Each structure stands twice: as C-alpha cells, then as structure tokens.
Structure 1
C-alpha cells in the first residue's frame, strides 16, 4: 500500500509541475491517477461503497459545473461554455479522477477547502507579484493539496478520506 501511495504522490507532483510550468497536463496522468486512487480506495473499502461514492461525487461535481455555467451565462447574457475561458478541461479531469477515492462528504470538504485555500493564495500572489498571471493552475494546486490531505489521512488517527464516519462522529453532538 505504501508503494501505491508513493506512486500516487509522484503522479500528483507531476500533475502540479506540468500545470504550473505549462498550464496543461497530459491526459493520461488523470487516467493513471484515477486507476491508482481506485486501487487505494478498494484497500479501504468495497466495490459497492466505491460505486456509491463515485455516483454521489460525480453528481455533486455536475451540479457545480451546471451552476457555474448558469452563473456565467446570466452574467454575460448569453449561453457560455465555461471550458473556453473559465475552467480548464484539466481541472475537470482532475476533479473527476479523484471521485473514486473520496467519500461524498470528504469530497465536498476537500473541494471547498481546496478552492478557499487556492483563492487566498491567488489573492496573495496577485498582491505580491503585480505581473502575476490571472490564470490559476487549479489542477496543480489541488493536486498539491490532495497530497496534504492524504498525509493528514495517513498520520492523524481519526481521519479517513474514504469514509464519512470520521466526519459524522466529529460533527455529531
């Protein structure tokens, strides 16, 4: 299992490097990440749970993309394809490739925390570096944050990204 986690970390580093350097990522890295994370999830869970989490996470992501499309379409007063200028396909492929690994609530928590942290980092970079690009390497930054989440999962006893039990117990009164 440690070998698989090391392989996943190498993929995540490669995704981050490519996204930061070229603002593009090889598509096969996302497929490889999907397969590796699916294998890791199966070591913690079963196929039924994996399929259930996959369905919930993909539906959540679909709703997010629908709302983004509606928001920008209303803002621009015409139908907008968000993948032309607002959201990269690599970002979508990354978010899809991690859907099998996370339980539903953990996926939502990761999604929200990663976007919040990335927004704060982008604001800080824009303030500190006036010539900084307005484009955000979302997949690359989320890949690095996924590594942090997986390290926390490995070292903190009551954290398990593949099941919602830890979150449910944490938030229950």
Structure 2
C-alpha cells in the first residue's frame, strides 16, 4: 500500500511541476490531493502532538506543523520587511504566488521541522540556480517556485527509492555518526 501512496504522490507532484512551468498557475486540486496523500503517507502513530519514543526525530508531529507554519510566517514577515525597505511597499503581490504557499502547506505532513527547513532552503537554492540557467534558454520573469520545489521533492522520493537517501528522513544523528 505504501508503494501506491508513493506513486500517487509522485503523480500529483508531476502535475504541479507541469502546470507551474507550463501555465504559471496550478490547479488547487493538486494541493488537496498532495495534502491528503501526505497525511495518509504519515504513520498514524506519528501524527500526534509530541514525539513518539523510538520513532526518531524525522517524523511529523502537530508541533512540527505549528513550527513550520510559524517559520513560514516569520520568513514572510522578514521578506515583507526587506521589500518595504527596498521598494517602499511591503507587498508580496507578484513576488510570491498563492500556489507557493499552498504547496508548502500541502507538503507539511511529510517533514519534521528540521527536515522542512533543510528541504526549503535547498529547494530554494535549486530554484534560484535552475531559474537562472532556464532564463538563458527561455526568458521568464516569474520563478515557478512551487514547480521547482515539487521537482526537488520528486527527486527526493526517487533518491530515497533508489539509494535510501532522503531529505525527509535526514536526521542530526546522521551527522554525528
């Protein structure tokens, strides 16, 4: 059953990648499908407010979800403050789409707080580098951020299936040992 859920999640992510790159807008149903599949993907015992002993730090809890939402709010506030200083307006309109925010919320159950921040930073760097290279081929002003991040998550699933390497299951303990 886990394989079916993984395949479904990959299909939904491919839909996000295709629509964001091709049309620069994403059908809201993809986010609902990704969120629903992500919740199903998480083991029921790990979907609690506190960490379950013996399951490691890489599993999602409601505390992780609240932490991730707080992280996104703080990050948005910092970006809006920066824009207010640079441009005189603190508006994210035209700079960050609702699809990007919906995508982050839809993948929330797949990550612990630490793993989400790690994924978020790495996928942002991939998006910036990828968009810079893509602009040499086809000039676009808007960065399809949700598309790039969905592609990174898709790559993460493929690396996990092929080599057992994943940002979703990466823990601090792997750095120590």
Under TM normalisation by the shorter chain, which class is it? 0.7 to 0.9
Aligned partner of 1:55 in structure 2 is 66
The number of residues matched between the two structures is: 166
Shift of 1:159: 4.6
Aligned partner of 1:69 in structure 2 is 80
Query: CA separation in 2, counterparts of 1:151 and 1:55?
Result: 28
Aligned partner of 1:85 in structure 2 is 94
Gaps of 5+ in 2: 50-59
State the TM-score, normalizing by the size of structure 1. 0.87
1:114 aligns with 2:123: yes
CA deviation map 1:116-145 (0-9, x unaligned): 11111111222x32x511211111111111
Query: CA separation in 2, counterparts of 1:117 and 1:160?
Result: 14
Query: Cα RMSD between the aligned structures?
Result: 2.0
Compare the two structures and name the one with the higher helix fraction. Answer: 1
CA deviation map 1:9-31 (0-9, x unaligned): 11000111111111001112111
Contact 2:126 2:148 in 1 (8 A): no
Specify which of 125, 138, 160 is matched with residue 145 of structure 2.
Answer: 138
